[in-house]
Structure 1
Amino acid sequence: MTESWSHDGRPVPDLVALLRARIDAGHLETWLTSESGRSFAFVTNTDRAMLMLLNGEGDAGEHATTPNAEGESDGFVLSNGQSDTYPDADTVALEQALTIAGHVVREGTWPADAHHVSDR
């Protein structure tokens, strides 16, 4: 059975469309929750994105990576106004991030070709 995900208590029929609309509206942080209690975070600066998959409250989770990427990017603005900077190795390009996010929500796992690390 496929896991159901929601955003703000509403089902997410098309995650990529939701994320693009939120980015266009200036909402750079999006959290999804699943019926099993897992969470998925998508935070972007419109060029790169930090993607995190957590198994439940208190879990350090896993995040998508770009191995061997150098440098860092700023402008990852959270809903509370905090602006973060992340190493590029800990984020992925926006278009790749949208593809990865769609797969995680559809399949419940990272795509086979997506690099990710455990933060547990």
Structure 2
Amino acid sequence: MEAQGQLETWLTSSSGRFLAVVTNTERAMVMLVVAEGDPGEHAVDPGAHGSSEGFVLSNRQHDEYPNEDTVPIGEAFRIVSHIVTKGYWPPDARWVSDR
């Protein structure tokens, strides 16, 4: 499936943290950043094989990511919902620090 349009969303908290989601409609890169310039943390899918393309950024750049550095879209929604309501990664979510 080829993604159409911009599929990048940034949420900003009152504490200055950023939650970013970039999707190709099947998988998503979910990043949590504590301040501008921070490389942050991102959700991972250990053991996922291959890579996926079609991640359209706001600057119209089209990216491809290894599947192990993205999560299925349903998992991305679950992670984002938890971070928005609780303020931290779900205890069972897999993520890595890019710092």
Please identify runs of 4+ aligned residues in structure 1 that moved more than 3 A.
none
1:80 and 2:59 correspond: yes
1:46 and 2:22 correspond: no
Distance 1:36 1:26 in 2: 30
Alpha-carbon distance, 1:52 to partner: 0.3
Q: Which structure shows the bigger proportion of residues in helix conformation?
A: 1
Alpha-carbon distance, 1:80 to partner: 1.1
How many residue pairs match? The answer is: 96
Distance 1:113 1:82 in 2: 32
- Equivalent pairs: percent with the same residue? 60
Residue ranges of structure 1 left out of the alignment (5+ in a row): 1-24
Residue ranges of structure 2 left out of the alignment (5+ in a row): none
RMSD of aligned residue pairs (Cα, Å): 1.1
Corresponding residue number in structure 2 for 1:69: 48
Corresponding residue number in structure 2 for 1:110: 89
